[in-house]
Structure 1
Amino acid sequence: MGETNTKSAPLFHVRTEVRVSATPEEVYAVVSDMARASEWSVECLGGRWVSGEPATVGAVFRGDNRRGPDVVSWAPVVRGDWTTDSEVVAAEPGRVFGWAIRSKAGQAQDSVWTFEMAPAAGGCVLTHHFRMGEATEGIRGITADMSDDEKRRFFSEWGAKLEQDIAATLVRVKEVVETN
């Protein structure tokens, strides 16, 4: 099983949405404040901006993350605490905020997380989207010693995990925005 896919067949592509009783600008203010990510993210505990003007294209955020031992427990994924650097790749207030996970060398990878906001009656529709086209260095490391069957199992189970995480994140963002 190959470790990369074409743009037409990404390794992971997850997208879900929720209606939020707030303006797109109010939602954007929350999801673009990455230091507050612990309020809504399943794994990110927050972090800090390390370069660039915060929340603008090109800015880099170092996220502090935590994953429990039960997540795809048979696979050699990072567990416990770790950090990632992410580069903002989209920042249009009230419309879209997105970031790409960077490699250890500091290059944006084809692993992009995005929040999109669209006006709707009584507030907006918030869409959370994750797409990984080509395998990141992390995924390549996780799957390096796996058989083809293990890779298929990993991609299936990790995809299910991503779907659950994105859905939970949207519920949390909605709660944060609507209670502030």
Structure 2
Amino acid sequence: MEWTGARYADKPTVEVRTWIDATPDRVWAIVSDVERMAGMSTELQSVEWLDGVTAPAVGRKFLGRSRHESFGEWSTTSEVVDCEPGRVFGWAVGDAAEPSAIWRFVLRPKDDGTELTQWMQLGPGRSGLSFAIDRMPDKEQKIVFVRLREFERNMTATLAHIKGAAEQR
């Protein structure tokens, strides 16, 4: 990832990808199991479906609990906004109309396996990062850059976990 000087209002994004020696359906079973995502990165601690649901569909919501040494502990409610089995799974954090972030997994058949991409966008809605920027507006670009690098590291770790799980025979 290179320095872009992005501001939060620019809705900066991060994307990582990997190839997995497994079918898109096998990979889908992992990426769409939100409760399984906890522990795949250093930040996400637990996830649970809300309103008694147990599987993804557009409009369904889940609660995520996270921890970060600089931000402490917090929870967010996310709403599934993209759900095409074997192809795409995405959710908006907070208000789906003005999310604090959007996350997405995209699966594509490739070379008898699956190319898995994880993508995320900051904003446009306010998040915990907004409070740090409010306190230090002169450091906004650095704050955004550092946070995007953290997301990139955690997303890379998440994809490695998914790859390992999907490739187990």
What TM-score, normalized to structure 1?
0.80
Is the counterpart of residue 172 in structure 1 residue 164 in structure 2?
Answer: no
Displacement of 1:108: 5.2
Q: Which residue of 2 aligns with 1:20?
A: 20
| 2:124 paired with 1:123 | no
Distance in 2 (CA, whole Å) between partners of 1:49 and 1:174 is: 23
Give how far 1:127 is off. Answer: 0.4
1:65 aligns with 2:57: no
Q: What percentage of residue pairs aligned between the two structures are identical?
A: 31
Equivalent residue pairs, number:
164
Q: TM-score, normalised by structure 2?
A: 0.85
Amino acid of the structure 1 residue aligned with 2:59: G
Q: 1:139 aligns with which of 101, 124, 129?
A: 129
Gaps (5+ residues) in structure 2?
1-5
Cα distance in 2 between the residues matched to 1:147 and 1:38: 32
Render the CA deviation track for 1:40-73: whole Å, top value 9, x for unaligned. 3432223211137431111010012222x2xxx5
- In structure 2, do the counterparts of structure 1 residues 37 and 4 end up closer, same or farther at CA, with 3 Å as the change threshold? closer
Q: Secondary structure at the match of 1:109?
A: coil
Please give the residue correspondences for 1:1-180 in structure 2 after superposition, counting only pairs within 5 Å: 5=9, 9-10=10-11, 12-51=12-51, 53=53, 54-67=55-68, 69=69, 73=70, 78-79=71-72, 81-103=73-95, 109=99, 111-148=101-138, 150-179=139-168
Q: 2: CA distance between counterparts of 1:82 and 1:22?
A: 34
Structure 1 residue runs of 4+, over 4 Å off?
Answer: none
Structure 1 residue runs without a partner (length 5+): none
Give, in angstroms, the shift of residue 39 of structure 1: 4.8
